[in-house]
Chains A and B, each alone.
Chain A
Amino acid sequence: MMARVLRTELRRSSALWTAIALVVLGAAMLYPVVDAWGGRWMPLALWQREYLFVLWPMALGAGAWQARRESRAKVGELFGATPRPRWQRVAPTAGAMAVAMVAGYLGMFAAGAVSVVPSAGYFPLGLLPVVAVGALSVVAAVVLGLAIGRMAPSAFTPPALAVGGLVLLITLPLAFDSAGDDVPGALLLSPVLYRPDDDFVTVAASAHLAQVLWLVALLAAGFLFYAAVQWRTRALAAVPAVLGAVVALAVAPGAEADVTVPDLAARKQVCTSDAPKVCVAAVHASALEDLRGPGQKALTILAAKLPLAPTSVAESPTLWLYEDSRPQPAGTLLVDLEIDASGGAAEPQRDLLWQLLDGAGTRRCANTVNDYWPARLAAAAWLMGEPPPARMADSGGQARKLWDALGQLPADEQRARVAALRTAALACATTDLAGVLTRGSAPR
């Protein structure tokens, strides 16, 4: 009986159109930033969660719109006179809207998955709760919207909820941000998940748990408020909401930094079978073919021109710019890959080679002296045996000058100075790299 009514509600309510609108709106927001998630599952799921900024208030508005149906048709009094309890009468409506929301959210994910499936090799199971909690959050929003829309059945309610919710979700993190850098875990009560910068993280289980508890409580409160007839019962809706917030805050991680945890499986290196070994992180496995050529070429050049050259290429998920004073490994050539929309390397092969040889095969450190990058580029140019190209942002031609000066020296001296630069850059200590190139040793 209930299933038959639900089927009717799915056809007679705004459920179908709401789901379609959600997919279209979601895809319209995802595809302009396809470079940031194409070919990778977790970034897609996290971008989708970030876009709850817009989708969540829209779901509120959709619920409020649906709740106006009875007052629009002027049948509220008639339906109120039927002996069937109100909650039994409204459950199919809420159910139909919930089905629409889940279908729309998953449809948006599927629209994104079209650009992930062809190239993604790494499927993290941690993806499933990220998507599931996102879908739960829009269900909670639509039921909350039904409750509010029933209370205030005005034509202004849906737009006011959508716009008001949007403004609230945008300003909430700003308000917390001004309180200091350490954003409290209370921000998890907002369904928007703040997207971390890299592809190597997953979301902590405690964060999921806190959000599920809170959203289920919110859903229960919304439905209670929507289904109740008497004011006393409606007031009871506050109980699950408050209880859910308290419990969620108790289990939530204390700081925003603890919401995401490193995904070790995503960092596991995937390597070429032939020597010399070129490796990328598992999450970027689709870019291995793009890196193979430049990687092996870079290793060959380094081995031919410098002593103590590295023997393999590996992708380093950490940015050395933020790692304080930790020396880099000498035996491995580290690379920081940018990925494009189809899962391949974003840079052309020749630029990748230049990037690999930058700083004589080292990564940039936070604590080298200012203007160290022309010296790094000049070292790469020496290894390549050609002048530094203008597209490598050699503004003012400083790298060109350093490279010219280096070329005037005897061959042995050239080799010694570039080797010294490599040693200094690997140490990641405070060093004047340009001084190393022009004088042969770093002034202390």
Chain B
Amino acid sequence: MRLLSLYLRSRRVPAALAAVLVSTVALWSIGLAGVDAKTRLVLAALAAAIGTAALAPGLVGADPALDRTAALSWPPRRAGHVLAMAAVVAGVLAATVLTGDPLATATVALRNAAGLAGLVALAAAALGAGLAWLPPVAWTAVVVMVGPQAGGYREALTWMVQPGGTASATVTALAVGAAGALAYAWRGSRS
């Protein structure tokens, strides 16, 4: 328990968690103003993107070189970190169900959190944890601007604003999520 709390503090998780909670509540309260289903999906995508972006700097410790010298098997721990990230973001998003006026259904919350957390992890492996927020925020911003598209690759590329149960969107999110988790587990954050 003590090790876990030290780990979380070393990865600056408390501040990031506060940011996830605040941003989700803020977007949820905008959604309360009786917006249509399409706008609500946009808000849910934004909430997941901001949440994963806030957790992104935690993908690397203060001294990655020192971490690597530890006699620990890092890959499963790194994979666990990504999974926990997705679970936290999905959980906070889905917890809005408890208010009776959910920001997103559990399916959409899980899909967005899994896909975007994987994207953050992939970006951390490729660009470093400091820049890992960029791809999910940029991709989501473009998709929010363009709006959900129908059919073929356009539907798959705008996966984060598609309604729950859209097959191509779910497949894309899961593929990005799995690729990101694997890449980060294998390589860790680029330093």
Contacts and interface: CB of A to CB of B under 8 A. Distances in A.
A205 to B, nearest CB: 29
Interface in B129-166: 129-131, 133-134, 137-138, 141-142, 145-146, 149, 154
B138 A65 contact: no
Given A33-B146, A51-B145, A53-B145, A159 B54 contact: yes
Interface in A114-162: 155-156, 158-159, 162
A207 interface: no
B55 to A, nearest CB: 10
Contact of B56 (A21, A25, A159): A159
A379 to B, nearest CB: 34
A3 to B, nearest CB: 29
Contacts of A53: 145
A156 to B, nearest CB: 6
Contacts, number: 52
B53 A58 contact: no
B137 A163 contact: yes
A61 B133 CA distance: 11
Nearest to B16: A156
A29 interface: yes
B57 interface: yes
Interface in B46-103: 50, 53-54, 56-57
B138 A163 contact: no
Contact of B137 (A28, A65, A155, A159): A159
A51 B134 CA distance: 17
Interface in A22-73: 25, 28-29, 32-33, 51, 53-54, 58, 61, 65, 68
B146 A65 contact: no
Given A25-B138, A65-B130, A159 B146 contact: no
Contacts of B133: 158-159, 162
Nearest to B158: A32
Given A65-B131, A155-B130, A162 B146 contact: no
B15 interface: yes
A166 interface: yes
Given A65-B131, A159-B54, A54 B146 contact: no
Nearest to B138: A25
A54 B140 CA distance: 10
Given A25-B142, A28-B142, A162 B137 contact: yes
Contacts of B149: 32
A155 B57 contact: yes
B50 A163 contact: yes
Contacts of B154: 32
A58 B19 CA distance: 19
B97 to A, nearest CB: 24
Nearest to B154: A32
Contact of A156 (B57, B131, B145): B57
Nearest to B149: A32
A32 B151 CA distance: 13
A166 to B, nearest CB: 6
Contacts of A65: 130-131
Nearest to B130: A155
Contacts of B145: 29, 51, 53-54
Nearest to B146: A32
Interface in B111-134: 129-131, 133-134
Contacts of B23: 163
Interface string A395-411: 00000000000000000
A178 to B, nearest CB: 11
A21 B19 CA distance: 26
A29 B146 contact: yes
A54 B53 contact: no
B64 to A, nearest CB: 13
Interface in A82-101: none
A156 B50 contact: no
Interface of A: 21, 25, 28-29, 32-33, 51, 53-54, 58, 61, 65, 68, 155-156, 158-159, 162-163, 166
24 contacts: A21-B134, A21-B138, A28-B142, A29-B142, A33-B146, A51-B145, A53-B145, A54-B145, A58-B138, A58-B141, A61-B134, A65-B130, A65-B131, A155-B12, A155-B129, A156-B16, A158-B130, A158-B131, A159-B54, A159-B56, A162-B134, A162-B137, A163-B137, A166-B141
Given A58-B138, A155-B12, A162-B137, 14 more contacts: A21-B138, A29-B142, A29-B145, A32-B154, A58-B141, A68-B130, A155-B57, A156-B19, A158-B131, A159-B57, A159-B134, A159-B137, A163-B137, A166-B141
Interface of B: 12, 15-16, 19, 23, 50, 53-54, 56-57, 129-131, 133-134, 137-138, 141-142, 145-146, 149, 154
**What are the 4 closest A-B residue pairs judged by CB atoms, nearest first?**
A159-B133, A155-B57, A32-B146, A54-B141
